[in-house]
Amino acid sequence: MTLFKNIRKQGYRLAAVSLTCLIIVFTGCATKQDILQVDESVRQVRNDQMVLKRQLDHIDSLFTMGADQDTRMRAEIRTSLDELNEQLSQMKNQLNDMQQVVYLLSQRVSGTPVAQQPQLTTETPPADSSAETSDTTATEAKSSIDCRQLWDNAFKDMYRAQYDLAISGFMDYLKYCPGTDLADNSQYWIAESYYELKQHEKAIDEYKMLLDQYPESEKRASAYFKLGRTYEKLADTAKALEYFLILKNDFPGSVEYDQVKDKIDEWQKADGN
The domain spanning residue 80 has which CATH number? 1.20.58
Q: Is the pLDDT of residue 75 over 60?
A: no
29 phi, psi to nearest 5 deg: -115, 130
Q: Is the pLDDT of residue 270 over 60?
A: yes
Report pLDDT for 93. 59
Claim to verify: residue 195 and residue 268 sit in the same structural domain: no
Claim to verify: residue 2 and residue 102 sit in the same structural domain: yes
**Which of 112, 138, 157 is where one domain is finished?**
112
Amino acid symbol at 34: D
**pTM for the predicted model, two decimal places:** 0.57
Better pLDDT: 272 or 16? 272
State the pLDDT confidence band at 127, using cuts at 50, 70 and 90: very low
Claim to verify: residue 29 and residue 88 sit in the same structural domain: yes
Claim to verify: residue 237 and residue 214 sit in the same structural domain: no
Residues of the domain holding 54 = 1-112
Mean of the pLDDT values across residues 215-227?
96
Claim to verify: residue 179 and residue 237 sit in the same structural domain: no
If 0-12 CB within 10 Å is exposed, 13-18 middle and 19+ buried, where does residue 11 land? middle
State the pLDDT confidence band at 123, using cuts at 50, 70 and 90: very low
Residue 129 lies in a domain: no
Please report, for residues 24, 26, 101, 104, the alpha-carbon distance to residue 29 in angstroms, rounded to integers and kept in the order given.
Answer: 6, 8, 13, 12
If 0-12 CB within 10 Å is exposed, 13-18 middle and 19+ buried, where does residue 165 land? middle
State how far the Cα of 188 lies from the Cα of 208, in Å rounded to an integer: 10
Task: Indicate the DSSP class of residue 29.
Answer: -
Residue 251 lies in a domain: yes
State how far the Cα of 14 lies from the Cα of 33, in Å rounded to an integer: 19
Residue 61 lies in a domain: yes
Neighbours of 263 (CB within 10 A): 18
Please report, for residues 10, 88, 239, the alpha-carbon distance to residue 50 in angstroms, rounded to integers and kept in the order given.
Answer: 11, 10, 30
Claim to verify: residue 108 and residue 11 sit in the same structural domain: yes
Claim to verify: residue 157 and residue 182 sit in the same structural domain: yes
Claim to verify: residue 1 and residue 53 sit in the same structural domain: yes
Residue 137 lies in a domain: no
Long-range CB pairs of 210-217, under 8 A, 24+ apart, other chains included: 210/184, 213/184, 213/187, 214/183, 214/184, 214/187, 217/184, 217/185, 217/187, 217/188
State how far the Cα of 223 lies from the Cα of 188, in Å rounded to an integer: 7
Residue 120 lies in a domain: no
Domains in the chain: how many in total? 3
Claim to verify: residue 3 and residue 107 sit in the same structural domain: yes
Claim to verify: residue 178 and residue 227 sit in the same structural domain: no
Better pLDDT: 230 or 35? 230
Report pLDDT for 108. 53
Closest CA to 81 of 48, 47, 57, 49: 57
Residue 260 lies in a domain: yes
Query: Over pLDDT 70: what percentage of the chain?
Result: 47
Better pLDDT: 87 or 244? 244
State how far the Cα of 52 lies from the Cα of 49, in Å rounded to an integer: 5
State the pLDDT confidence band at 113, using cuts at 50, 70 and 90: very low
Q: Which pLDDT tens digit goes with each residue over 174-194?
A: 999 999 999 999 999 999 999
Claim to verify: residue 203 and residue 228 sit in the same structural domain: no
Claim to verify: residue 213 and residue 226 sit in the same structural domain: no
